[in-house]
Amino acid sequence: MIYTCTLNPAIDLFIETEHLKPEIVNRTNSYDIQPNGKGVNVSFILKHLGIDNTALGIGGGFTSNFIEESLRNKGIKTDFTHIDGISRINVFTRVIDTDTEYKQVNNGPEVNKEKVNNFLEKVSKLKKDDKLVVSGSFSKGVPPNIIIEIAKMAQKQKFNLVIDTSYPDVIQTISYHPYLLKPNDEELLSWFDDEQNNNISTLIAHSKKLIEKGAKNILLSLGSKGALLINKDKVLFGNAPKIKVVNTACSGDTMLGTFLAGIEQNLSAEDNLRRSIAAASSTAASSGLTDFSDVDELIEQINIKQMEG
């Protein structure tokens, strides 16, 4: 079973407006309200592709109720740890006349130590054939080094750990052999204090260092440039198709969910990377998660090539 984990779930409010001016009422063209959080998105993508999964998380209030109900309505099992606070609401605004996107992301509620331990107790029950996907930011009170504790549990219990979070503590999980890391280029460079050298050669070199130290796979998203897949056997690069960007908030989650589904479906690494990039691009071209209706068309624009590194 694949378990996703969202330690700071959210409701996302997507707004489109012609202009955004101060001190006046800005009338919107449209709005959409969606359950969100990176692990939540991965769950939706997995289920869309026919992969059963269970969504874990920490949340509270009417917002968490909405998120969990939305998951269950799609046939996804939920096992959230509930807190007294209210899970956050984020706002993403697309402004037409300036062709800009504003992202207003809140910190989330406070989580006490007891609730953190309750969540870890659920993780302690995972077994050898399970995968756990830890994605996104953590609520206040959830220490970033929890990812190290989870990595230790993964090694001991022999489940596969997938990590998609930007905290520098991720580096300390490498010795516990995480199954997959999915940083973006900026996150990877920040882990190596090398933000000035954002080029393919440097990104591959840093990724290979993580593989040498114990990580099994790196899925590196490059935004409009595409993505890289690095492991001990190969380095693959795929370009991104040309799209009109609407909202980039969930594209990385789409890439990860699609890639994990491809592993379950025994796709080749090349075909899996190609479909994952196409799906991520489809999400970026829409206000929410892709429905995969244009993914086959986008795949035709993507070439996968083996890199020397």
Mean pLDDT on 140-168 = 97
253 is catalytic: yes
Active-site choice (185, 253, 271, 296):
253
Number of H-type helices and E-type strands within the chain: 9, 14
Please give the share of the chain, as a percent, with pLDDT higher than 70. 99
pLDDT of residue 92: 87
Please give the share of the chain, as a percent, with pLDDT higher than 90. 90
Mean pLDDT on 134-162 = 97
Read off the pLDDT of residues 26-35 as tens digits, 9 standing for 90 and up. Answer: 999 999 898 9
Domains recognised in the chain with CATH numbers: 2-308 (3.40.1190.20)
Rounded to the nearest integer, the mean pLDDT of the chain is 95
Mean pLDDT on 145-161 = 98
pLDDT at 287 over 80: no
For residue 306, give the nearest of 203, 250, 233, 247 by alpha carbon. 233
Helices (H), the chain: 38-48, 61-73, 113-123, 146-157, 185-191, 200-213, 251-264, 269-284, 295-299
Query: CA 41 to CA 252: how far, in whole Å?
Result: 9
Q: Which residues, including other chains, have CB under 8 Å from residue 193's CB and lie 6 or more apart?
A: none
pLDDT at 309 over 60: no
220 pLDDT band, cuts 50/70/90, is: very high
Angstrom distances, CA of residue 147 to CA of 13, 68, 70, 178, 298:
28, 23, 26, 11, 35
pTM of the predicted protein model: 0.91
pLDDT of residue 4: 98
pLDDT at 245 over 60: yes
308 pLDDT band, cuts 50/70/90, is: low
Read off the pLDDT of residues 74-130 as tens digits, 9 standing for 90 and up. Answer: 999 999 999 999 999 999 899 999 999 898 989 899 999 999 999 999 999 999 999
pLDDT of residue 215: 98
pLDDT at 282 over 80: yes
